[in-house]
Structure 1
Amino acid sequence: MDKRIFPLALGGLAIGTTEFVIMGLLPDVAHSLKISIPQAGHLISAYAAGVVVGAPILVAYAAKFPPKRILIFLMIAFTLFNGLSALVSDYYTMMAVRFMSGLPHGAFFGVGAVVSSRLAKPGKQAQSIAMMFTGLTVANLAMVPFVTWLGHQLSWRYAFGVVALIGLLTLVFLKFLLPYMDSLRTTTLKDELEFFKTQKSWHIIAITAIGFGGLFAWFSYITPLMTNVSKFPTDFIAYIMILAGAGMVIGNFLGAIMADKMRPALAAAILLSAMILALVGVFFFSENKIASLILTFVCGVLSMAVGTPVNIIMLRSARNSEMMAAAFMQAAFNVGNSIGAFFGGLPLEFGLSYNYPSLVGAGLAMTGFILCLTFIRKYKPVI
């Protein structure tokens, strides 16, 4: 890995850990705060809402500054609010703090994606962005399982303490390894926002938000799915998260290779169609332990593989507003997070089994797939 991109990957490790660890600790958080599991799922939505709000607003304000300074500021805020997440003791305060924790997320990746692409060798843009997102995959392979285990053994609060510690380390490496760059803004904010008045921009955002919503409908409730339907013991959840993380590592590089070798929109369509099949498989076969483990790995692969192609679609479509476009994409991913957690939780509110969120997810993925096909048909000469 290019040492200049390492601080971005480390920041991704911190962000990926805080975003996904709560899914492995959902029953623990619910019990501690004296709320139901679907209510605890709203904490996932609160974080995602913070990303959606923070990504475009913070990028719009900060883009006039050098990216190194922006990234350091964002990581300071991220570290502070994740530290507070380890301390709060009631549900509504936790909702507020999780929202604040999400604010720097999208802007960090939005700025980082453009910095990574600028540092990339010719023809390696997708792979350079994928290297930044390596932190997310390592989070799910190693850090999320570790802090999930730690949370089960001690307290879920330790998980957020670990995240704050990684945030502090990221600040050190940002200071010493990330090179100085002039402001990435090459046009006025008004000109940057012109792209988002087009149907094309919102078509891409809709593909991302709805398509990824399918995966988060499954992943948000993976712990109760595996313990109540697949009948794994709670102590085994950390290993299941490792399996999902291993899939994400492979998926990260698979998506980058596909985006460099074929049209990114076609790559996204192929991966979304595979996502539909995998989520339907989760619904029908989760009672079988071996099948549930295989499907966890496959869904892990697909969860990261789709990310790079859709990011490349957006960056290529928004030539003069790349940083704002990357920020909007992070907002879109987390709209998907929020949509998935919310709609995936609806069957549970009506007393249905924990495999039903994956069926909701398949419906969301199908909608994303259809949107992707219409995008390819409309913009085939371009993307």
Structure 2
Amino acid sequence: MTPATATAAPRLSARAIILIELALALGGFAIGTGEFAIMGLMPNVAQDLGISEPQVGHVISSYALGVVVGAPLLAILGSRLYRRHLLLLLMSCFAIGNFASALAPDYQALMLYRFLAGLPHGAYFGVAMLVAAAMAAPHKRAKAVSRVLMGLTIAILIGNPVATWLGQWLSWRYAFVMVGAIALLTVAMLAIFLPLDKQQARSNPLGELRAFNRAQVWLALAISSVGFAGMFCVFSYLAPTLLEVTRLDARWIPLALAAFGLGGILGNMFGGWLFDRLRFQAVAWLLLWSALVLVLFPLSAQSPWSLFPAVFAVGTMVALSPALQTHLMDVAHGAQTLAAASNHAAFNIANALGPWLGGLAISAGFAWTVTGYIGAATAVAGLLVFYWAWKIQPAASPAPGEQPGMATARAAPSPHPAPGP
């Protein structure tokens, strides 16, 4: 996000900026709710379509793979469009994908529609962050981006439990209808409040691709892809674990999801605070914390008194997101747009990997709580990738004309408290 992105700021009133930020945040709320709603409704989807819970886990992975494919691809293909037009297109496609998911007649169709719904996810957040930064003064860009990304945080805390409750009350399909309706409301608000900026600086796709090709960038994305997988492994199968292991009624599922959301809010704030003090080393401590939380989860799931604190603790793993995002933006000199979108791709590789690994183990006959042990293993694997990145870190050099840390100073806060892109 260079100074060239701030061309529109002087022409917008404070009220106009608030309305635009609200519209952008509403889109984040829609995406966050749509991504995670199916996790709380896993038993309902499985019963309605006549499939197993691990197969529903594959549906979750399908959406995540859509994000992985769509985030960098659409960020590059859409780089020549005006941001207003691109945001309207992306959110319209997201709405269509969710309405189609609500009408899916069978398992195969649902897999396809969730993949298509995931395609605009990462690119939307990448462009939304740039729009938010462009409207703010240079020293207030991070706060502007954080206000837009509050939509994701609220989705984890409120949107996901509400969608789960609605899906249990009526049908899981209505959860996706709700998400599609919120996406259309976002389109309407952006069309009304976000003006077309014909002075917008255009990015160079080939230049960003060249700047993106650095070892530290790829290793940061690898840590995110592997280190986050454990959180998704546990979270994806939380509903059946609560029903089959903890022996609680389905009415407790939204409360468990809210506990995860509260942990995510705390983790998001703590992760940024810790990175400010320890820099890249903070990632190692957060991965160690993740491994500890996950390895204790199977024992904690045996009792409702320990389950909810354990779910809250798993939610705090979101602390990895701001730490890795800030580090990624620091090492991705000249490729901030692609890096912002690709961070969602990496996040959703974890979202695909975790449920897939958990589904394999559960299908093989292991208990539902095996997800904790698998998750701890992925956190340890993330630590190994961190060690590799740490060893070659002194070799990383800033972009020409930049001092170390300048990219960090202008880096945006993370887009996945939480679940990305």
TM score, norm. by length of structure 2: 0.85
The question of 1:247 aligning with 2:263 is answered yes
1:353 matched residue in structure 2: 367
Q: Report the CA distance shift for 1:17/1:340 in structure 2 as closer, same or farther (over 3 A).
A: same
2:84 matched residue in structure 1: 68
- For the residues of structure 2 that align with 1:120 and 1:230, how far apart are their CA atoms? 48
What do you get for the CA RMSD once the two structures are aligned?
2.0
2:338 matched residue in structure 1: 324
1:108 matched residue in structure 2: 124
Higher deviation after alignment, 288-297 or 370-379: 370-379
Higher deviation after alignment, 247-256 or 289-298: 247-256
TM-superposed CA distance for 1:374, in Å, is 3.1
Q: In structure 2, which of residues 115, 119, 128 is the aligned counterpart of residue 99 of structure 1?
A: 115
TM-superposed CA distance for 1:224, in Å, is 0.9
- For the residues of structure 1 that align with 2:388 and 2:142, how far apart are their CA atoms? 23
- For the residues of structure 2 that align with 1:72 and 1:12, how far apart are their CA atoms? 13
2:88–2:187 contact (8 Å) kept in structure 1: yes
- For the residues of structure 1 that align with 2:200 and 2:246, how far apart are their CA atoms? 51
2:211 matched residue in structure 1: 195
The question of 1:369 aligning with 2:395 is answered no
Q: Report the CA distance shift for 1:26/1:75 in structure 2 as closer, same or farther (over 3 A).
A: same
- For the residues of structure 1 that align with 2:222 and 2:139, how far apart are their CA atoms? 27
Describe the superposition over 1:53-87 as per-residue Cα deviations: whole angstroms up to 9, x where unpaired: 11111111111122122111100000111011111
Partner amino acid for 2:381?
A: T
Partner amino acid for 2:355?
A: A
> Identity of paired residues, percent?
37
2:281 matched residue in structure 1: 266
- For the residues of structure 2 that align with 1:46 and 1:204, how far apart are their CA atoms? 23
- Match of 1:306, SS? helix
Q: In structure 2, which of residues 4, 12, 37 is the aligned counterpart of residue 21 of structure 1?
A: 37
- For the residues of structure 1 that align with 2:136 and 2:370, how far apart are their CA atoms? 42
- For the residues of structure 1 that align with 2:167 and 2:38, how far apart are their CA atoms? 10
- For the residues of structure 1 that align with 2:291 and 2:45, how far apart are their CA atoms? 30
- For the residues of structure 1 that align with 2:75 and 2:297, how far apart are their CA atoms? 38
Partner amino acid for 1:35?
A: I
Describe the superposition over 1:162-212 as per-residue Cα deviations: whole angstroms up to 9, x where unpaired: 0011101111222234454454544x3222111343222211110110011
Matches within 5 A, 1:330-345: 330-345=344-359
1:55–1:104 contact (8 Å) kept in structure 2: yes
The question of 1:228 aligning with 2:244 is answered yes
Q: In terms of Rg, which structure is larger?
A: 2
1:126–1:312 contact (8 Å) kept in structure 2: no
Q: Report the CA distance shift for 1:184/1:311 in structure 2 as closer, same or farther (over 3 A).
A: farther
TM-superposed CA distance for 1:300, in Å, is 1.2
The question of 1:143 aligning with 2:149 is answered no
- Match of 2:105, SS? coil
- Match of 2:248, SS? coil
Higher deviation after alignment, 242-251 or 58-67: 242-251
Q: In structure 2, which of residues 306, 310, 328 is the aligned counterpart of residue 295 of structure 1?
A: 310
TM-superposed CA distance for 1:120, in Å, is 4.8
Matched residues, number: 380
Partner amino acid for 2:255?
A: Y
The question of 1:279 aligning with 2:294 is answered yes
- For the residues of structure 2 that align with 1:358 and 1:132, how far apart are their CA atoms? 32
1:227–1:234 contact (8 Å) kept in structure 2: yes
Matches within 5 A, 1:125-144: 125-144=141-160
1:224–1:354 contact (8 Å) kept in structure 2: yes
- For the residues of structure 2 that align with 1:117 and 1:312, how far apart are their CA atoms? 15
1:311 matched residue in structure 2: 325
- Match of 1:5, SS? helix
Describe the superposition over 1:122-152 as per-residue Cα deviations: whole angstroms up to 9, x where unpaired: 5555544433322112111111111101111
2:183 matched residue in structure 1: 167
TM-superposed CA distance for 1:264, in Å, is 4.3
Higher deviation after alignment, 313-322 or 81-90: 313-322
- For the residues of structure 1 that align with 2:227 and 2:202, how far apart are their CA atoms? 30
Partner amino acid for 1:279?
A: L
TM-superposed CA distance for 1:375, in Å, is 2.0
Higher deviation after alignment, 120-129 or 91-100: 120-129
- For the residues of structure 1 that align with 2:298 and 2:237, how far apart are their CA atoms? 13
- For the residues of structure 2 that align with 1:199 and 1:159, how far apart are their CA atoms? 41
1:67–1:184 contact (8 Å) kept in structure 2: no
TM-superposed CA distance for 1:316, in Å, is 2.1
Matches within 5 A, 1:211-222: 211-222=227-238
Question: Which segments of 5 or more consecutive residues in structure 2 lack a partner in the other structure?
Answer: 1-13, 397-403, 406-421
Describe the superposition over 1:296-343 as per-residue Cα deviations: whole angstroms up to 9, x where unpaired: 11111222x221221222222222111111111111111110000101
Question: Which segments of 5 or more consecutive residues in structure 1 lack a partner in the other structure?
Answer: none
1:83 matched residue in structure 2: 99
- Match of 2:119, SS? helix
- Match of 2:280, SS? helix
- For the residues of structure 2 that align with 1:114 and 1:96, how far apart are their CA atoms? 30
Higher deviation after alignment, 87-96 or 129-138: 129-138
TM-superposed CA distance for 1:371, in Å, is 1.8
Partner amino acid for 2:324?
A: V
- For the residues of structure 2 that align with 1:368 and 1:125, how far apart are their CA atoms? 30
2:231–2:314 contact (8 Å) kept in structure 1: yes
Q: Report the CA distance shift for 1:124/1:213 in structure 2 as closer, same or farther (over 3 A).
A: farther
Q: Report the CA distance shift for 1:174/1:5 in structure 2 as closer, same or farther (over 3 A).
A: same
Partner amino acid for 2:382?
A: G
- For the residues of structure 1 that align with 2:293 and 2:194, how far apart are their CA atoms? 39
